[in-house]
Chain A
Amino acid sequence: MDIYSFLIQFLNGIQYGLLLFLVASGLTLIFGIMGIINLAHGSFYMIGAYMAFSLSALAGNLFIAIVVGIVLSIILGVFLEWALFSHLYKRDHLEQVLLTYGLILVFEELRSLIVGNDVHGVAVPAIFNWSIPLTQTLSYPVYRLFMSAVCIVLAVLLYLLIARTRIGMMIRAGASNREMVQSLGLNINLVYRLVFALGVALAAFAGMLAAPVSSVYPGMGTGVLIICFVVVVIGGIGSIWGALVASLLIGLADTFGKVLVPQAAGVTVYLLMAAILLWRPEGLFRRV
Chain B
Amino acid sequence: MALLAALALLALFPFAGTTFYTELVTKVMILAIFALSLDVLVGYTGLVSFGHAAFYGVGAYALGLLAPKYEAANLWLTLPAALAFAALSALVVGAFVVRVKGIYFIMVTLAFAQMFYFVFHDTKFGRGSDGISMNFKPVAAIGGFTPFDLANATHVYYFVLAAMLLVFVFLRVLLNSAFGRALQGIRSNEHRMRSLGYPVYWYKLASFTLAGALAGLAGYLSALQFGFVNPELLSWHQSGNVLLMLILGGTGSLYGAVAGAFVFVALQEIFSSVTTHWQLLLGGTIILLVIFLPGGLASLGGLFKRTVVGDPDDE
Hey, which bits of chain A sit against chain B, CB under 8 A? 31, 37, 84, 87, 91, 93-95, 97-99, 101-106, 108-110, 112-113, 222, 226, 229-230, 232-233, 237, 263, 266-267, 270, 273-274, 277-278, 281-283
Contacts and interface: CB of A to CB of B under 8 A. Distances in A.
A277 B100 contact: yes
A281 B286 contact: no
B284 A106 contact: yes
Interface residues of B, number: 42
Given A98-B243, A102-B284, A105-B283, A281 B99 contact: yes
A285 B53 CA distance: 31
Contacts of A97: 48, 50, 106, 243
A102 to B, nearest CB: 3
Contacts, number: 118
Nearest to B277: A109
B279 A105 contact: yes
B298 interface: no
A102 B287 contact: yes
Interface in B206-237: 236
Give the interface SS of chain A, mostly helix, strand, loop or mixed. Answer: helix
Specify which of B100, B279, B283, B285 lies most central, judged by the most chain A CB atoms within 10 Å of its CB: B283
Nearest to B101: A281
Nearest to A37: B103
Nearest to A35: B103
B102 A109 contact: no
Contacts of A237: 103-104
B80 interface: no
Interface in B143-161: none
A281 B104 contact: yes
Contact of B111 (A37, A101, A106, A229): A229
A106 B48 contact: no
A233 B111 contact: yes
21 contacts: A94-B251, A95-B294, A98-B286, A99-B286, A99-B291, A102-B284, A105-B283, A106-B280, A109-B283, A110-B280, A113-B277, A113-B280, A226-B110, A229-B107, A233-B100, A267-B118, A270-B111, A270-B114, A277-B99, A278-B96, A282-B104
